[in-house]
Structure 1
């Protein structure tokens, strides 16, 4: 009987946690806008329907963009950049991409390889001698970009204070000892990936730029990509108010997400109960000064259009319709053709190669970000897709995302119909 009372109390508390705040939430009109090319109207219809039926979070905003055969065919947005202030999401609203930033970092490295300044198969130490400390002398560029270097435990807390001093940051990263023998295992380098990539790029780039500077000067400005690694303070007025799940909603989303269930289970086994059940809070990612620092692992800021534009170019053979070359087809071929699931890693059909996340069965590559940010290229169908949201859902940590995946599916259906004509 005591157990039943406790269970009922938990259920009632959960319901009140979810629904009571809605009584004080100011209802605002549903707003969606943008353009789609003929044949892609179902994508815009589903996008708007997601805001009507609650798939899209009511106090947040999102955007979706699709490039097909080099042309922009979908560019839509909706919801609110700041629901409390009634500020709608606009055409130029941009938001944090979290780990989708890693895809842009991988692209910078690929551009250097394409120009002959970097070789995936050479050691990192051949460009950055100090890196060879503490057993890292045999780590290749490929190992580093494929999350096999044994440097995964470096955290934001370890490096945040050093982001403003690249030399000091480089010294710290060079001294760090691997957690396992490099090349023998793969574990996601959540915070360290972009930092090591940037330090390596500084040594390999003839101009010795940071990764954020390189991206701006070699990719963003020449190709008109509205994405920033080191977010300018003067653009902060375009940034949204982030929102994320309550404790109960976080638990609900986690239970329905296989990847997050595994994360919680792993933390429980390790005895890290706090980390297992504490939802991540994202206030720090609304601080302009934090976003202004270059953190190429997780703090890039941009539009869905920017992500779709980059991956649309890569899916189109590495060039725009006007012939402007971003990356050679030879390098792009390496991303897909050289993708392998490492020994000791479960064969899920998803792996990392040269810094990109590769869906080998679907023959797509790109990189997702926490909360549901997506950037993906499909060279087979010449499609580039970008999706961003200011609502940070656990779905973005793996599994099926009710916001993005149905939009991608209907996009493919539209393309199939067009190609059948």
Structure 2
């Protein structure tokens, strides 16, 4: 690997975060490029980037480098829906059919918005192939979900809706929003443009040159990660086994390629609106979006109180292969201080979190895919640990 390249800024209190960020590269936990950003009390205190946007040609990761946030996009889509719920246009307890009557076919009439956002609707994939023509026409996607029979009885178990989550939320937003906007358009007009954010669900063609190229994890790195994170073995089974939901998700979308890196290295696919997984951004802007929640700028205090802890804690996920905490479209973890963090992981290591108690928001993005996700990603966990050590300084 060429010599790592670094840039950014850190307030003196958080100097250790920068040390750990660089050490992740020195210890070869980072094989390509990465970025990490932190907002505290609404102020940017960490903004770091390093490595390469495309190591094959030694294109450096720069301040304005964009990368795919994968499922951190679900958090942003859920914030958009939360804004509409905060406006009393809907409730998390509403039946989906209140806003989308046709959805109730084939045993889905009792699905609530909460169940859908908690990955309990029994729709982790759609039977058959989901073609590009379906993705660009929300009416075709609507019909697919209306006719789909749940894979399990809704509300009886949890199974991560890898891609379908985004299209389901998009259908709800289009129906609940008085202007009938898609998630991507709603975000741009209500959050992105007003706050000057470099974040796109459906990326403009002219920005492709700024996007980091994704690199699939090498087998030796997978083994190294699995040794330090034992749950990865079970996750790997659920990801690779043809008997499990993840395999059927890929079968749904086989025309796109055989891996997430193939999907999202394709510029044409980045231009589509896939609100479950193709938000393109910087760590700085992903953290800022979530900082707006901790600052009280996007959601009311009462709505934030509703979402501050998971609706469905400690449930085994039959898509991912481990127990986690979900609710309201978010994934929840505990901070090193023992408090709930709101946000979402992304495949390959991407992550974003809100710490309401400390008025903190932070995001990690990489183009060097990791075997794990979320709190099973070593570089991210190193950074989170250092961040809280800095916070606890007197």
- Aligned residue in 2 for 1:384: 361
| Structure 1 SS opposite 2:69 | strand
Matches within 5 A, 1:9-408: 27-57=1-31, 60-154=32-126, 157-254=129-226, 256-266=228-238, 280=259, 282-316=261-295, 318-319=296-297, 326-337=298-309, 339-341=311-313, 350-359=324-333, 361-396=338-373, 398-408=374-384
Q: Distance in 1 between matches of 2:210 and 2:281?
A: 10
Structure 1 residues 157 and 226: CA distance shift in structure 2, 3 A: farther
Q: Distance in 1 between matches of 2:19 and 2:29?
A: 13
Q: Distance in 2 between matches of 1:130 and 1:160?
A: 23
| Structure 2 SS opposite 1:243 | coil
Displacement of 1:234 in angstroms is 0.7
| Structure with the greater alpha carbon radius of gyration | 1
Moved more, 367-376 or 257-266: 257-266
**Higher RCO, 1 or 2 (CA under 8 Å, sep at least 6)?**
2
Q: Distance in 2 between matches of 1:96 and 1:86?
A: 19
Q: Distance in 2 between matches of 1:291 and 1:48?
A: 29
Q: Distance in 1 between matches of 2:127 and 2:61?
A: 32
Q: CA-to-partner distance for each residue in 1:64-101, whole Å, 9 max, x for gaps?
A: 00000110000010011122222111111010011111
Structure 1 stretches lacking a partner, 5+ long = 1-26, 320-325
Q: Distance in 1 between matches of 2:136 and 2:323?
A: 38
Structure 1 residues 342 and 53: CA distance shift in structure 2, 3 A: closer
Q: Distance in 2 between matches of 1:156 and 1:258?
A: 34
Number of residue pairs aligned between Structure 1 and Structure 2: 379
1:412 aligned to which of 359, 377, 388: 388
Displacement of 1:118 in angstroms is 1.8
Displacement of 1:160 in angstroms is 4.0
Displacement of 1:311 in angstroms is 1.7
Contact 2:54 2:213 in 1 (8 A): yes
Q: Distance in 2 between matches of 1:91 and 1:405?
A: 23
Contact 2:375 2:381 in 1 (8 A): no
Contact 1:155 1:191 in 2 (8 A): no
Displacement of 1:344 in angstroms is 7.0
Structure 2 stretches lacking a partner, 5+ long = 251-257
* Superposition TM-score, scaled by structure 1 size: 0.84
Contact 2:225 2:378 in 1 (8 A): no
Displacement of 1:275 in angstroms is 5.9
Q: Distance in 1 between matches of 2:128 and 2:70?
A: 13
Displacement of 1:267 in angstroms is 6.8
Moved more, 288-297 or 355-364: 355-364
Structure 1 residues 252 and 141: CA distance shift in structure 2, 3 A: same
Contact 2:200 2:281 in 1 (8 A): yes
Q: Distance in 2 between matches of 1:204 and 1:30?
A: 47
Structure 1 residues 309 and 168: CA distance shift in structure 2, 3 A: same
| Structure 1 SS opposite 2:13 | coil
| Structure 1 SS opposite 2:313 | coil
Q: CA-to-partner distance for each residue in 1:195-225, whole Å, 9 max, x for gaps?
A: 0000111111100011111111111111222
Q: CA-to-partner distance for each residue in 1:257-287, whole Å, 9 max, x for gaps?
A: 4443113445788667x969x9946122111
| Structure 1 SS opposite 2:3 | coil
Contact 2:127 2:148 in 1 (8 A): no
Structure 1 residues 194 and 291: CA distance shift in structure 2, 3 A: same
Contact 1:257 1:399 in 2 (8 A): no
Displacement of 1:158 in angstroms is 2.4
Q: CA-to-partner distance for each residue in 1:93-123, whole Å, 9 max, x for gaps?
A: 0100111110001101100101122211111
| Structure 2 SS opposite 1:403 | helix
